[in-house]
Chain A
Amino acid sequence: MSETTAKETFIEARGLSFRAGGRDLVREASLELAPGTTTILIGPNGAGKSTLLKLMTGEAKPSGGEIRLDGEALAAIPAWRLACQRAVMAQHARLVFPFSVYEVASLGVDGIGRAMTRLRRDALVGESLAAAGVLDLAGRAYQTLSGGEQQRVQFARVLCQIEAGRSVASRQALFLDEPIASLDLCHQLALLDMARAIAGRGVAVLIVLHDLNLAVTYADHLVVMDQGQIIAQGAPARTLDDALLRQVFKVDLSLSRAPAPGLPFLLPQQHRLTPAA
């Protein structure tokens, strides 16, 4: 299916299905995450992207199919070891009590970084806060931040966890569920740049995105989901076409090609509703 060979695969999902409330949220989905590869998952609302992510992180148990990490069944791996091998940034994270930004980011390293010295842990939190651009908010209460700032703090927490797990796990994965939903353009690009940089160090990265142009720009491997199924996957330039846009996203737009890297892009200016919609 893709450029990755089976030997390189870190996380492998085979025929995943998930039923809830009498509906198939995910049907027969197969996906491989390879070290150093940024995989981006796109699809309309309710396509099952978040559910697939929950299955791949172990948060939800699939009703069919299996997931293997380095050949080992995901369900058999205890939570603490899994925490060293993968970090997850969920869509929403609400806090009830007034934890500070510093404390929230520290959660990423408190559990799995116990072998580190306290100074090393604090330094790691500082570096992650700086990388996510929220160091100057360190003393603020998380609840009082804007949605975008909260998202960046959560990203800092995930950075902490990946970095802390690095000394323990030989291979790692990073899962981001719509990580840029509340961010301004500058921070959207900064976060995706960092995610790619993390992939550059050998981490398998899976991101759920809505912006097709950003997805095409940052993906090594693009996965398109619709109605619980994976409709297409592969290199972005070969995966996305006008027919797919019409079928999956119900929009009648034609893709253009950017001059330099030759990647497809969309101009919403040419939007007009399909007669059916």
Chain B
Amino acid sequence: MTLAARTTASLPAGLATLIAGRRRLALLAGGALTLGCALLALVAIGQGAIAIPPARVAEILWARFTGDAALLDGRDVLVVMNIRVPRVLLGLLVGAGLAVSGALMQGLFRNPLADPGLVGVSAGAGLAAAATIVLGDRFLTGTLMKLPFAVLPFGAFCGGLISTLALYLIATRQGRTSVATMLLAGVALGALAGAMTGLLAFISDDRQLRDLTFWSMGSLGGASWTKLSAIAPIIIPLLLAMPLLARGLNGLMLGEAEAYHLGIPVQRIKALAILLVALAVGASVAAAGLIGFVGIVVPHLIRLAIGPDHRLLLPLSALGGAILLVGADIVARLVVAPAELPIGIVTAAIGAPFFLWLLLRRSGPLDV
């Protein structure tokens, strides 16, 4: 036994190299992703019907930041500040929120294939949105109000939150939440919500059906500072809570009992993570519609690159998710310009094949 308390600490050479290598890799990955995210955002802001070179975009943003009025002149400034910047910020925020939500769910369920879409959060939000589009329209015809599109985000947000709370209550017995029950119940609730959404689609008219279809494929179009200021306070808490949750999630990887033995407040971590994810996903769905696969693809790629330690995985997933969504938005606006593709199509076109590859690559059976 060499474990007697020592005042000086020394590391075996091999271990010191290992730890230093890991820290270098983390720093490198963090730096590269931050830089990539910033550059991509500049490109995304410049790209569109009125093309603005990234250098000019940077100039406008810098002038705006320093308040240099001489440089804030012209049509491109208006385009950048009122249309492009809110859109890119929405993409960054929704992408980061979805990717972190995915990473949290996978940690919580101890399952690399878990995703907010899998536990019914998205399905609940989708059902509420469909109900708003189809039924809201029906009840409000004849009245002066033209509500559906103002109410839609709020409805989606409530739907996501309600389905998560229902799931949480179903899976909780005597103060303990069973993640396995939650996963299975989530699949069932998702199917139920899907059936009801289908029923709504069945009774809807052509215009409603078109609204429903577009909304269910997701879009960053229609981003505005108002929309942004509505969802930022809901998604940002999730990003701020990352350091708070990371250590607990690492402990949970050994199992709930082991996490408890390590001194982790397991129930509190679970409840906090579920609540923050429900809020963030509800807000994302409300602002940008249903965008799939960000929550599975991004955390998995980050795990492959730097390992599963949540202290790195969560922040790097946020950056990766932001990059993926802003990148997908660029693609969505480019391929059929001047029209734009729903962004959900782009992320699913990347995500679904990747997901299949993930399944084929697994050597062992699935752990649920």
Contact = CB atoms under 8 A, between A and B. Distances in A.
Interface in B299-326: 303, 307-309
Interface stretch (A6-14, A24-32, A62-70, A100-108): A100-108
Contact of B2 (A80, A81, A120, A131): A131
B307 A99 contact: yes
A254 to B, nearest CB: 37
B257 A90 contact: yes
The 10 closest A-B pairs by CB, nearest first: A83-B263, A123-B9, A97-B308, A80-B263, A88-B261, A120-B9, A197-B1, A111-B263, A126-B15, A96-B110
B68 interface: no
Bin chain A's interface residue count: 35 or more
Contacts of B2: 127, 130-131
A79 to B, nearest CB: 5
B5 A166 contact: yes
Q: Say whether chain B's binding surface is mostly helix, strand, loop, or mixed.
A: loop
Interface stretch (B207-215, B218-226, B248-256): B248-256
Contacts of A184: none
A138 B18 contact: yes
Contact of B262 (A81, A83, A97, A159): A83
A209 interface: no
Given A94-B255, A97-B308, A110-B247, A83 B261 contact: yes
B9 A122 contact: yes
Given A80-B263, A108-B262, A112-B263, A139 B3 contact: no
Which residue of B1, B16, B110, B251 has the most chain A CB atoms within 10 A of its CB atom?
B1
A135 B258 contact: no
Interface string B1-14: 11101100111101
A94 B367 contact: yes
B111 interface: yes
Contact of B260 (A59, A120, A122, A167): A59
A120 B367 CA distance: 36
Interface in A14-57: 54, 57
Nearest to A86: B261
Given A83-B263, A102-B19, A93 B14 contact: no
B264 A79 contact: yes
Contacts of B9: 117, 119-120, 122-124
A249 B303 CA distance: 48
B307 A98 contact: yes
A253 interface: no
Contacts of A161: 262
B67 interface: no
Interface string A187-219: 000000010011000000000000000000000
A194 B262 CA distance: 21
Which residue of A100, A111, A128, A197 has the most chain B CB atoms within 10 A of its CB atom?
A111
Given A90-B255, A111-B263, A123-B9, A98 B19 contact: no
Interface of B: 1-3, 5-6, 9-12, 14-16, 18-19, 110-112, 247, 250-251, 253-255, 257-258, 260-266, 303, 307-309, 367
Nearest to A196: B1
Contact of A84 (B11, B263, B307): B263
A115 to B, nearest CB: 13
Given A97-B303, A107-B254, A111-B251, A59 B12 contact: no
Given A90-B257, A111-B263, A96 B15 contact: no
Given A99-B307, A111-B262, 10 more contacts: A79-B260, A93-B255, A96-B110, A99-B253, A111-B247, A111-B263, A122-B11, A126-B12, A135-B12, A136-B14
Which residue of A59, A104, A107 has the most chain B CB atoms within 10 A of its CB atom?
A107
Nearest to B7: A120
Contacts of A123: 6, 9-11
Contacts of A93: 254-255, 258
Contacts of A163: 3, 5
A102 B264 contact: no
Contacts of A80: 263-265
A135 B308 contact: no
A112 B264 CA distance: 9
A123 B10 CA distance: 6
Given A99-B309, A103-B307, A129-B15, A194 B1 contact: yes
Given A58-B260, A90-B258, A95-B253, A102 B1 contact: no
A112 B260 CA distance: 12
Nearest to A197: B1
A131 B262 CA distance: 20
Nearest to A103: B309
A87 interface: yes
Contacts of A222: none
B94 to A, nearest CB: 25
A138 B266 CA distance: 27
B15 A135 contact: yes
A224 interface: no
Contacts of A82: 263
B3 A111 contact: no
A96 B257 contact: no
Contacts of B263: 79-84, 111-112
Contacts of A125: 15
B257 to A, nearest CB: 5
Contacts of A84: 263
16 contacts: A54-B257, A78-B265, A90-B261, A95-B253, A96-B112, A97-B308, A99-B253, A103-B307, A110-B250, A111-B251, A122-B11, A124-B9, A125-B15, A131-B1, A138-B14, A163-B5
